[in-house]
């Protein structure tokens, strides 16, 4: 493996979005298999709408991880963040380990190491085993017994391959859209279910940390290994910097969307705003002192940050003309602020996500001030777009421009003292998107989803990111003539083993 002191240039992805092989190797269904089968819907061509497509094959990483590791090596990447699949390891219950699942995962890690790429696993990303969900899933405290067995097994078999781990990825989106809404599985839309689920997810972080330290004592994991949590905080910007109500709304937003999701696992406590919300909504659930003490005793080591965009916040009573907005305002489970999408001087993606790297530096400094000088890593950052794949070259200029400004912001934050250890973009290749199916392109590498082989082809952004990684971030320039020449050379030399 490359010197661990090197800055990590990585890509990130998630099992249910890339892997395929969903019923191979002893695996059974998870909540995402059930959800996509039950809600399968592909809008007509040219008609807007959410595509919920099959994940049975996805980008077929299950069969093509060797191919993909060569493509990553060719780009001089030295890291690969992967959201693991609990259900591939324990497909029936929490006691019976699936040997085929262990073997496949270990072979995939070995192949990455062989190509000088550090595998960086995330233990859980939204994909609860169906056998666990049938028994209550994250609402049932028994899941913590099942979870402990899972993480012990992962540390035992995979600990020797990596020194960087994450527990959970985007607990916020998972619980808000899956427990206070029906947008994502398990589609509970129940406040009590939400409170139980998020508390058990937080306890899962503490359990993982406890088992992580035990795994170090047993020699499964190196003593200097670190375990973190990934959060998708969108740093706020006041809609009107002179309006005290907007500034107050920012404070409340951060209590919910920063502190509520990170404090339990980074500080061992909940913000008071959460307990007030439980009381105001007459939710019959108590968080015991024993649980709080356990969280406090087993805090995590560092933070992974999914930065895609900031958000504009206003006071809840502010009236803003629809003509001034790109899309309707949003409110969440708390009604003390709203998110607005101004048109003036704001850029948007094809999917109406704000494009603005300005809060990456200041936001990382805020987290440093709150959580100390701990390691920080960008785990997800990328541009979802409709890439034009009709020509010989896939010229995703917008993606390159987006990545350039964000990577330069990371390097600037590092220069002024933020302990950034790496940058990982979302994502390596085109995959299944929960919000856009196979229509929403994120990858550096294109996947032909209509081919049985799921053929890979590099985009212009692949050549650019290779330039960045090879120069260790020193060359983020965009010379389109050079990049097109580089991409043509890539295609000319694109081995049969990389297709």
Q: With 60 as the cut, is the pLDDT of residue 85 above it? A: yes
Q: With 50 as the cut, is the pLDDT of residue 3 above it? A: no
% the chain with pLDDT above 90: 92
Q: With 80 as the cut, is the pLDDT of residue 179 above it? A: yes
- pLDDT tens, residue by residue, 259-277: 999 999 999 999 999 999 9
pLDDT of residue 45: 79
pLDDT of residue 495: 87
Q: What's the number of CA atoms in the CB half-sphere (13 Å) around residue 347? A: 11
Q: What mean pLDDT is predicted for residues 152-181?
A: 97
Strand ranges inside 252-402, DSSP E: 302-306, 311-314, 338-340, 347-348, 354-355, 376-380
Q: With 90 as the cut, is the pLDDT of residue 162 above it? A: yes
138 falls in which pLDDT band (50, 70, 90)? very high
pLDDT of residue 377: 98
| Residue reference for tokens 């963040």 | 81
Q: What's the number of CA atoms in the CB half-sphere (13 Å) around residue 431? A: 24
Contact indicator for 428, 382 with CB cutoff of 8 Å:
no
% the chain with pLDDT above 70: 99
Q: With 90 as the cut, is the pLDDT of residue 279 above it? A: yes
pLDDT of residue 333: 86
User: In order of start, what are the domains of the chain with their CATH numbers?
Assistant: 8-231+354-498 (3.20.20.80), 233-306+311-353 (no CATH)
Element holding 299 (H helix, E strand): none
- pLDDT tens, residue by residue, 288-303: 999 999 999 999 999 9
Q: Say how far apart CA 167 and CA 229 lie, in whole Å.
A: 5
Pick the closest to residue 432 from 23, 32, 26 (CA basis): 32
- pLDDT tens, residue by residue, 350-384: 888 999 999 999 999 999 999 999 999 999 999 99
4 falls in which pLDDT band (50, 70, 90)? very low
Neighbours of 408 (CB within 10 A): 16
Rounded to the nearest 10°, the torsion over CA 248, 251, 252, 256 is 170
Contact indicator for 255, 248 with CB cutoff of 8 Å:
no
Q: Say how far apart CA 216 and CA 51 lie, in whole Å.
A: 43
Dihedral sign computed on CA atoms, order 306, 312, 314, 319: negative
pLDDT of residue 331: 87
Burial call 474-497: b when 16+ CB within 10 Å, e when fewer: eebeeeeeebeebbeebeeeeeee
- pLDDT tens, residue by residue, 209-253: 999 999 999 999 999 999 999 999 999 999 999 999 999 999 999
Question: Model's pTM, two decimal places?
Answer: 0.96
């Amino acid at each position: 493996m490359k010197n661990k002191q090197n800055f990590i240039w990585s890509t990130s992805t998630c099992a249910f979005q890339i892997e395929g092989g969903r019923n191979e190797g002893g695996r059974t269904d998870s909540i995402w298999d059930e959800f996509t089968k039950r809600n399968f819907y592909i809008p007509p061509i040219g008609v807007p709408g959410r595509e919920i497509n099959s994940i049975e094959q996805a980008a077929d990483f299950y069969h093509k991880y060797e191919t993909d590791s060569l493509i990553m090596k060719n780009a001089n990447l030295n890291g690969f963040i992967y959201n693991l699949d609990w259900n591939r390891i324990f497909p029936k219950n929490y006691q019976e380990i699936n040997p085929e699942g262990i073997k496949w995962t270990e072979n995939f890690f070995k192949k990455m190491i062989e190509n000088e790429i550090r595998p960086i696993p995330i233990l859980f990303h939204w994909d609860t085993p169906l056998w666990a969900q049938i028994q209550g899933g994250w609402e049932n405290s028994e899941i913590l017994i099942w979870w402990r067995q899972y993480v012990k097994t992962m540390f035992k078999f995979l600990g020797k391959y990596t020194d960087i781990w994450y527990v959970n990825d985007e607990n916020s989106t998972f619980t808000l859209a899956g427990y206070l809404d029906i947008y994502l599985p398990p589609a509970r839309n129940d406040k009590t279910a939400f409170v139980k689920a998020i508390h058990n997810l937080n306890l899962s972080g503490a359990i993982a940390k406890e088992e992580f330290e035990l795994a170090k004592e047993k020699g499964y994991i190196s003593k200097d290994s670190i375990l973190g949590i990934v959060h998708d905080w969108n740093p706020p910007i006041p809609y009107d910097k002179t309006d005290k109500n907007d500034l107050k709304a920012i404070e409340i937003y951060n209590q919910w969307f920063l502190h509520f999701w990170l404090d339990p696992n980074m500080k061992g406590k909940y913000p008071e705003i959460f307990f007030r919300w439980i009381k105001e909504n007459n939710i019959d659930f108590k968080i015991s002192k024993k649980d709080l003490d356990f969280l406090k005793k087993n805090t995590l080591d560092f933070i992974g940050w999914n930065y895609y965009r900031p958000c504009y916040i206003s006071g809840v009573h502010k009236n803003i003309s629809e003509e001034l907005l790109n899309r309707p305002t949003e409110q969440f489970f708390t009604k003390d602020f709203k998110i607005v999408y101004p048109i003036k001087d704001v850029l948007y993606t094809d999917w109406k996500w704000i494009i603005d790297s300005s809060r990456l530096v200041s936001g990382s400094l805020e987290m440093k001030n709150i959580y100390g000088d701990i390691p920080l890593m960008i785990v997800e950052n990328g541009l979802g777009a409709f890439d034009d794949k009709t020509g010989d070259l896939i010229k995703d200029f917008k993606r390159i421009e987006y990545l350039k400004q964000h990577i330069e912001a990371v390097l600037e934050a590092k220069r002024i003292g933020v302990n950034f250890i790496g940058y990982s973009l979302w994502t390596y290749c085109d995959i299944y998107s929960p919000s856009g199916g196979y229509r929403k392109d994120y990858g550096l590498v294109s996947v032909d989803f209509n081919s049985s082989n799921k053929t890979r082809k590099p985009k212009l952004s692949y050549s650019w990111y290779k330039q960045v990684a090879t120069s260790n971030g020193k060359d983020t320039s965009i010379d389109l003539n050079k990049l097109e020449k580089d991409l043509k050379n890539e295609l000319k030399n694109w081995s049969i083993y990389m297709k």
